[in-house]
Amino acid sequence: MMQKTDPVAQADHVAVIMDGNGRWATARGLERLKGHVKGVDRVREVVRAAPDYGIGFLTVFAFSTENWKRSEREVTGLMNLFKRYIRGEAATLDDDNVRVRFIGDRKPLDRKLRSLMDELEKLTETNTGLKLTIALNYGGRDEITRAVGRIAKAAKMGMIDPADVTEQMIGNFLDTSDLPDPDLIIRTSGECRTSNFLPWQACYAEYVFTETAWPDFTVAELVKTLNQFRSRDRRFGAAVAK
């Protein structure tokens, strides 16, 4: 078993852009969806290992608002995969004391998937272990736009004075209002961009971009990445003490 160390507990909230599933499959002569299926196995492993390495909050980017641009076959396959994951993992997640939440715009999702999401949130809402957040039909600009719309509506109704709008208030209207900002954001598969993932919340997050595709991102890779994070000097805008 891999040696666990106390310092990695500094990464209380880890968020992951799980990239490279389709390319992983294509490189092996497989249908792209096979890569996503393999990626689900990695989600399962990382979720189970996360508390052992001091991670209290884990947020995974499952499907973006831009992913609708993919082929109808792939999108349909992904939606069915999400349903199978929820059905297949619900009892285990509950037994493991994991609390699950979904962020993103649910309206475009089909009724059955929305129902399963609601049921899983309800099933696990009193759990006190790992807080797993699944970003499904999520886009950072979309999230901020929806939050601004809610603030504007509240102001129009006289519930908010525009002069009182603060960063904290905006944060309270975001999908992640009950989550701490991420300490570490990992992107797999060699791409070095943030892809509209948690732009408000990640303003002081540390990023690690790894060449490893998500289907190959083992617990050992997670620990390696946590150790990179541990070596960072996080100053949050403050000067270095001389």
3-state secondary structure the chain: CCCCCHHHHHCCEEEEECCCHHHHHHHCCCCHHHHHHHHHHHHHHHHHHHHHHCCCEEEEEEEECCHHHCCHHHHHHHHHHHHHHHHHHHHHHHHCCCEEEEECCCCCCCHHHHHHHHHHHHHHCCCCCCEEEEEEEECHHHHHHHHHHHHHHHHHCCCCCHHHCCHHHHHHCCCCCCCCCCCEEEECCCCCCCCCCCCCCCCCCEEEECCCCHHHCCHHHHHHHHHHHHCCCCCCCCCCCC
Q: Is residue 155 very low, low, confident or very high in pLDDT (cuts 50, 70, 90)?
A: very high
**Which residue, among 188, 175, 184, 93, has the nearest Cα to 140 in the 3D structure?**
175
Q: State pLDDT tens for residues 99-141.
A: 999 999 999 999 999 999 999 999 999 999 999 999 999 999 9
Judge whether residue 188 has pLDDT over 70: yes
| Residue recorded with tokens 């100053």 | 235
- Which segment of 5-9, 78-82, 234-238 scores lowest on mean pLDDT? 5-9
Q: What is the pLDDT of residue 5?
A: 42
Residue type, 199: P
* Domain edges within the chain: 8-138+182-229
Binding-site positions for Mg(2+): 19, 206
Query: Which residue is catalytic, options 19, 137, 175, 183?
Result: 19
Q: What is the pLDDT of residue 7?
A: 40
Q: What is the pLDDT of residue 152?
A: 96
Q: What is the pLDDT of residue 8?
A: 38
Binding-site positions for substrate: 20-24, 32, 36, 64-66, 68, 70, 187, 193-195
Q: What is the pLDDT of residue 240?
A: 61
Binding-site positions: 19-24, 32, 36, 64-66, 68, 70, 187, 193-195, 206
| Contact assessment for residue 25 and residue 37, using Cβ atoms and an 8 Å cutoff | no
Query: Which residue is catalytic, options 12, 67, 94, 96?
Result: 67
Q: Would you call 97 a catalytic residue per the annotation?
A: no
Q: Would you call 172 a catalytic residue per the annotation?
A: no
Domain at 8-138+182-229: CATH code: 3.40.1180.10
Judge whether residue 165 has pLDDT over 90: yes
Judge whether residue 3 has pLDDT over 80: no
